[in-house]
Amino acid sequence: MRATTIANFAKFWMATLVLAVVLAASGAAMAQENGEGHANVGGAGPSAPGPAGSTSSGPGFAVGPDAASSGACDVGPSLPSLPTFGEAGDDVKALSRATESYIRNCGCATQACIADALDTYAAALAQVAPRLPPQLQDEANVVAQAARRVRAARTKTEALHALHDAIAIIHKDVELVRAEDPDHPRLTRGGDFVAETLNVASLALEKGGGL
């Protein structure tokens, strides 16, 4: 009788232990599932890349307004990696918007910072240049030359003249494209975006720039 009681008691505790293990495993699985769900909802998990000009600071994105505090401004403009096909004007737009965002949101207002940003911009434009209209294929060199002049300028006024000269050259090239093919305004978009970016750099330097 006593042996039977002990056996039943052992079976009871064994069943209890098995049930506890099953409940613990089930709870862990639910916690993991809920954690993954919250990560996806909250944005902590992998997310789809945003368009150029978004607030992400990763490769291919422009920095956002909080970039300075997050340290994203320490590495210079983060420009998109562009395909070797497609609409060249769209690619120039992406590069231009990213550069403009860096200048505006990272306090890039000194000659040295503007020159460095334009050097990066010019190197990226050089990859797009072969797909632009012939009259605009030299705009990467125009930007690179402006960067050199800004860096070497002894005063802010000289640096501003360098940027204004570059803008004038780009505008002239745009007018050549427009005069040759007035029915296709999209052909001039690449030049328009470059001139706009140089103007953003000029305004930043004018308002707060020094050496």
Query: Contact at 8 Å (CB) between 187 and 181?
Result: yes
Residue 65 is classified by DSSP as: T
Q: Which residue type sits at 160?
A: L
- pLDDT of residue 21 exceeding 50, the answer is no
**What CA–CA distance (Å, rounded) separates 127 from 83?**
10
Percent of the residues in the chain that have a pLDDT greater than 90, as a whole number: 48
Q: Cα–Cα distance between 58 and 77 in angstroms, integer?
A: 10
Give which of 172, 122, 114 is closest to 143, Cα–Cα: 122
Q: Is the CB of residue 64 less than 8 Å from the CB of residue 106?
A: no
The whole-angstrom separation of Cα 84 and Cα 44 is 32
Q: What is the pLDDT of residues 100-129, one digit of tens each?
A: 999 999 999 999 999 999 999 999 999 999
Residues written for the chain: 211
Q: Percentage of the chain surpassing pLDDT 70?
A: 58
Average pLDDT score over the chain = 73
Query: What residues does each domain of the chain span?
Result: 1-47, 67-208
Residue 40 pLDDT exceeds 50: no
Supply the pLDDT for residue 184: 74
Q: Among 47-51, 67-71, 190-194, whose mean pLDDT is lowest?
A: 47-51
Residue 141 exposed, middle or buried by CB count within 10 Å (0-12, 13-18, 19+): middle
Residue 144: CB atoms within 10 A of its CB come to 19
Close Cβ partners of 65 (under 8 Å, ≥ 6 residues apart)? 55, 105
pLDDT at residue number 8: 47
Under 8 Å between Cβ of 168 and 198: no
Mean pLDDT along residues 188-203: 95
Given a cut of 70, whether residue 35 has pLDDT beyond it is no
> Global pTM?
0.66
CA angle 137, 142, 145 (to 5 degrees): 145
Predicted confidence (pLDDT) per residue in 175-195, tens digit: 998 888 777 777 888 999 999
